[in-house]
Amino acid sequence: MHPDYKLLIFDWDGTLADSIGRIVESMHASADRSGFPRRDDYAVKGIIGLGLPEAIRTLYPEIDDGQLVVFRQHYADHYIALEAEPSPLFAGVVQSLDAFRDEGYQLAVATGKARRGLDRVLKAHGWEGYFDITRAADETASKPHPLMLEEILAHCGVGPRQALMVGDSSFDLLMARNAGMDSVAVSYGAQSIEALQAFEPRLSIDRFPQLHAWLSQGAD
C-alpha cells in the first residue's frame, strides 16, 4: 500500500468503463431528435465528466429549460438502449480494483452520471456493494466543484492528502485540485493527455494496471 494514500477515487466513464463512444453517439442522436445542430466529437468529449444538464448547457448555451428537459430525455432513452449490453470495463480494471481492496485501500466512485445510471451499471457488473461510497452528479454539485470529493472524504474519514482522484477529464483533475487532492490522469478516455497535464497530475497512465504498479512501488 502506498504510504501517502488510503482512499482511491475513480471517475466512471472513460476511466473504468469504455463508454465514451456511446456518450458521443447519444449526444448526437439527442441533438438530431431535439432539433439542435450536432456539435463535433471533440466538443462533446470536452464536456464528458460534467453532470448532464451542465454538459448540455455548455454545448448549447441557447437552450431553454423546456428544451433541456426534452433533450435530456432523448439522451437518456438513446443511452439506456445502447447500455442494454453494459459498456465494458477497460482491461485490468477488475483485477486492479480487487488488488487495491485486498491491500487495504478504501475505494470510491465520483461520476458525472446520474444516480439512476450509476446504480444500473454497478448492478450490471455485480458491484452494488463493492465501493465504500459512490457519488453521482445529480445528488451533489457537478464537477469541477469539490463537493462530491468532500462528501467522499467525510464518509471515509480520510483527509485530502490521503486520497487520490483518478480520471480522464479536466473536470476530474480540477475537482481534485479544488479539493486539495492529488490526481492521476488516464490517456485513454475523453480528453488528451496533453490537456490533462495542465492540471499537474502526480501520474499519467496509458493502461489502468499501471496505477497498481505505481502504487505498489510507493513511487513518486
Question: What cell does 162 get?
Answer: 490521503
Average pLDDT, the chain: 95
Residues 160 and 99 in one domain: yes
Q: What is the CATH number of the domain that holds 121?
A: 3.40.50.1000
Q: Same domain, yes or no, for 190 and 170? A: yes
Task: Assign 130 a pLDDT band (cuts: 50, 70, 90).
Answer: very high
Residues 50 and 11 in one domain: no
Does residue 193 fall inside a structural domain?
yes
Structurally, the chain folds into a number of domains equal to 2
CATH code, domain with 39: 1.10.150.240
Q: What is the pTM of this model?
A: 0.93
Has residue 25 been placed in a domain?
Answer: yes
User: Is 206 in the active site?
Assistant: no
Q: Which residues constitute the domain of residue 63?
A: 20-83
Q: What is the pLDDT of residue 13?
A: 95
Q: Is residue 49 located within the same domain as residue 126?
A: no
pLDDT of 220 over the 60 cut = no
The reply to whether 122 falls in a domain is yes
Report the distance separating Cα 197 and Cα 184, nearest Å: 10
Q: Which of 4, 13, 77, 220 is catalytic?
A: 13
Last residue of a domain, one of 38, 60, 83: 83
Question: E strands along the chain, which residues?
Answer: 7-10, 106-111, 133-136, 163-167, 182-186, 203-205
Asked if 27 and 126 touch (Cβ cutoff 8 Å), the reply is no
Q: Where would I find the H helices in 60-186?
A: 65-82, 93-102, 115-124, 147-156, 170-178
Q: Are 64 and 118 members of one domain?
A: no
Residue 132 pLDDT: 98
What pLDDT does residue 214 have?
Answer: 95
Active-site pick, 11, 168, 172, 182 = 11
CA atoms of 131 and 106, how far apart (whole Å): 8
Pair (128, 211) in one structural domain: yes
Does the pLDDT of residue 151 top 90, yes or no?
Answer: yes
Domain end marker among 53, 83, 113: 83
What confidence score (pLDDT) does residue 182 get?
97
**13 is annotated as an active-site residue:** yes
138 and 99 inside one domain: yes
- Give yes or no: residues 103 and 120 share one domain: yes
Query: Where a domain ends, among 33, 63, 83?
Result: 83
Predicted pLDDT of residue 2: 80
Residue 101 and residue 79 share a domain:
no
